[in-house]
């Protein structure tokens, strides 16, 4: 691929289709995927037989929503545990499996495996072409990344996608901060890919070292991060101002075979301060945004929970997968770019369950709770996630001991042990501090023992950015 072909990356005809054409295409693909799953996939056949529904009953997108049962992480894990390792949903010989990934985090109810054939890896990673084209990135551009490449799809997907698109990729996440900055100056990147928390940190490190990004990185065109709560429009403006480029955002999941929603060339906010949207690749992933109380689709501007259907992956079908991600739905015409792709508002993704994303890792509070309440000496705890003044994302666990149960020395030893166990179980380093008995709130029903203060603290961490010169 060469730069002159760049205008062909994104499918121009689709980007000019009418919303009705898109809906027609989605229905056709849904019917094909359903029929295939029912005929060939024991997992789905059992599911649909139990629900008393047959693919020929599905004549509209409304039928699909009303009649086809959803699946979730638990359903997939049960199937994989009954038919290890890939589950009865996997529908190709093992020799055709090209890439295996698992979902993030080392805790919660478990990590399901997801598999892709070579063709799927190739086709799904081309979603990144839209992301690049819309953000003004070209083949041959240099990208620095801080995301780790391991078993999770995120790192692998970006690596394959970048190779296929023709980026020059620099994986500098393994180095210390000073080396990263040194390398960045040498590389002169066109693109930086990192989490919002790390962009804050990176900005403050530049400030500390007297580096002015506009001068130090004159070729920079964009910075991309994944869909999660950022610090709002003020945070975005600080970042844009400091780095001199627009920010771009994506949203995706392992179940969706990667990223499928991207911000367009307009960036992440309008001039009047309203947040813009990420457009869903509607011809690849069918995304239902539902109100959980009524089960009906939400209107533009309302929050809904995302249910996704992969419109092409027939080897490992994902049909009506409940993501537990909630976001603000936006109709296509919310954006001024004219694309017929609806999607979600920038920075609006949150969880329906109590999972937290900390430094890119999924954290289920129950894992920490289990370690704490498993010890008779401990009575209560509270977790806090925030961004400190140097931009680092930090986690503190405050614990209360049962009165008189241990000496001060013993309490210190237990705190230390807890810290190590938490790190081992969650892969996240947390501070464990002791607070006086009776100071933490008690919860009778659904525990709300975790406070996420990152939005506000990320914003205040960058408040002074660029004003110290
Ligand atoms: Zn747009």
| Distance from Cα 293 to the centre of ligand 1, integer Å | 30
| Distance from Cα 58 to the centre of ligand 1, integer Å | 31
Contact 367, 425 (CB under 8 A): yes
What pLDDT sits at residue 143? Answer: 98
| Distance from Cα 341 to the centre of ligand 1, integer Å | 8
The Cβ-side half-sphere exposure at 222, using a 13 Å CA radius, reads 22
| Distance from Cα 332 to the centre of ligand 1, integer Å | 8
Q: Which residues contact 165 (CB under 8 A, 6 or more apart)?
A: 1, 9, 128, 129, 132, 139
| Distance from Cα 193 to the centre of ligand 1, integer Å | 20
What pLDDT sits at residue 152? Answer: 84
Is the bond leading into 336 cis (omega within 30 degrees of zero)? no
Give backbone dihedrals phi and psi of 347, rounded to 5 degrees, phi first.
70, 15
| Distance from Cα 276 to the centre of ligand 1, integer Å | 8
Query: For residues 261 and 35, what is the distance between their CA atoms, to the nearest angstrom?
Result: 26
| Distance from Cα 338 to the centre of ligand 1, integer Å | 7
What pLDDT sits at residue 376? Answer: 85
| Distance from Cα 383 to the centre of ligand 1, integer Å | 38
Q: What is the mean pLDDT of each run of 10 residues along the chain (469 residues)?
A: 43 84 96 97 97 97 97 94 94 92 71 90 92 97 90 88 96 91 97 88 91 97 87 90 96 93 97 97 97 94 97 93 95 96 94 81 83 88 90 92 90 95 91 94 74 82 72
| Distance from Cα 264 to the centre of ligand 1, integer Å | 5
What pLDDT sits at residue 1? Answer: 41
| Distance from Cα 340 to the centre of ligand 1, integer Å | 9
| Distance from Cα 65 to the centre of ligand 1, integer Å | 27
| Distance from Cα 336 to the centre of ligand 1, integer Å | 6
| Distance from Cα 221 to the centre of ligand 1, integer Å | 18
What pLDDT sits at residue 56? Answer: 96
Give backbone dihedrals phi and psi of 420, rounded to 5 degrees, phi first.
-65, -40
Query: For residues 342 and 428, what is the distance between their CA atoms, to the nearest angstrom?
Result: 35
| Distance from Cα 298 to the centre of ligand 1, integer Å | 20
Domains and CATH numbers, the chain: 1-352 (3.40.50.12780), 361-458 (3.30.300.30)
| Distance from Cα 251 to the centre of ligand 1, integer Å | 15
- Write out the chain in H/E/C secondary structure: CCHHHHHHCCCHHHHCCCHHHHHHHHHHHHHHHHHHHHHHCHHHHHHHHHHCCCHHHCCCHHHHHHHCCCECHHHHHHHHHHCCCCCCCCCCCHHHEEEEEECCCCCCCCCCEEEEEHHHHHHHHCHHHHHHHHHCCCCCCEEEECCCCCCEHHHHHHHHHHHHHCCEEEECCCCCHHHHHHHHHHHCCCEEECCHHHHHHHHHHHHHCCCCHHHHCCCCCEEEEECCCCCHHHHHHHHHHHHCCEEEEEEEECCCCEEEEEECCCCCECCCCCECEEEECCCCEEEEEECCCCCCECCCCCEEEEEEEECCCCCCCCCCEEEEEEEEEECHHHCCCCCCCCEEECCCCEECCCCEEECCEEECHHHHHHHHHCCCCEEEEEEEEEECCCCCEEEEEEEEECCCCCCHHHHHHHHHHHHHHHHHHHCCCCEEEECCCCCCCCCCCCCCCEEECHHHHHHHHCCCCCCCC
| Distance from Cα 362 to the centre of ligand 1, integer Å | 29
């Amino acid at each position: 691929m060469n730069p002159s072909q760049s205008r062909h990356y994104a499918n121009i005809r689709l980007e000019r289709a009418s919303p009705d054409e898109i809906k027609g295409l989605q229905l056709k693909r849904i019917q094909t995927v359903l029929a295939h799953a029912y005929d060939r996939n024991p997992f789905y056949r059992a599911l649909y037989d139990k629900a008393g529904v047959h693919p020929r009953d599905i004549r509209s997108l409304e039928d699909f929503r009303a009649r086809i049962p959803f699946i979730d992480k638990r359903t997939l894990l049960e199937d994989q545990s009954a038919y290890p390792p890939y589950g009865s949903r996997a529908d190709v010989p093992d020799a055709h499996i090209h890439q295996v990934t698992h979902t993030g985090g080392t805790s919660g109810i478990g990590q399901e495996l997801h598999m892709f054939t070579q063709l799927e890896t190739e086709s799904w990673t081309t979603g990144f072409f839209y992301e690049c084209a819309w953000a003004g990135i070209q083949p041959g551009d240099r990208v620095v990344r801080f995301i780790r490449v391991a078993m999770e799809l995120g790192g692998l997907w970006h690596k394959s996608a970048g190779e296929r698109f023709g980026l020059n990729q620099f994986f500098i996440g393994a180095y210390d901060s000073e080396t990263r900055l040194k390398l960045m100056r040498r590389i002169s990147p066109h693109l930086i890919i990192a989490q919002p928390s790390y962009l804050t940190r990176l900005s403050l490190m530049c400030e500390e070292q007297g580096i002015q990004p506009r001068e130090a990185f004159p070729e920079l065109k964009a910075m991309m991060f994944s869909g999660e709560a950022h610090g709002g429009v003020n945070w975005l403006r600080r970042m844009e101002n400091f780095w001199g480029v627009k920010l771009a955002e994506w949203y995706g999941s392992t179940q969706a075979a990667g990223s499928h929603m991207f911000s367009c060339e307009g960036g992440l906010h309008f001039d009047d301060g309203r947040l813009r949207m990420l457009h869903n690749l509607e011809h690849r992933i069918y995304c239902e945004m539902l109100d959980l109380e009524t089960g009906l689709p939400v209107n533009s501007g309302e929050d809904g929970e995302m249910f996704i259907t992969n419109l092409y992956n027939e080897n490992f079908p994902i049909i009506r997968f409940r993501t537990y991600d909630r976001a603000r739905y936006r109709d296509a015409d919310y954006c001024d770019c004219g694309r017929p792709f609806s999607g979600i508002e920038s920075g609006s993704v949150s969880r329906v369950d109590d999972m937290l994303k900390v430094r890119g890792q999924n954290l289920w509070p129950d894992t920490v709770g289990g370690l704490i309440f498993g010890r008779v000496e401990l009575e209560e705890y509270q977790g806090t996630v925030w961004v400190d003044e140097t931009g680092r994302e930090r986690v503190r666990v405050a614990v209360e001991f049962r009165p008189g149960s241990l000496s001060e020395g013993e309490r210190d030893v237990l705190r230390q042990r807890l810290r190590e166990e938490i790190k081992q179980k969650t892969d996240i380093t947390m501070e464990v501090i002791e607070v006086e008995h009776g100071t933490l709130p008690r919860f009778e029903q659904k525990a709300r023992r975790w406070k996420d203060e990152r939005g506000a603290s990320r914003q205040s961490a960058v408040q002074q950015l660029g004003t110290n010169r």
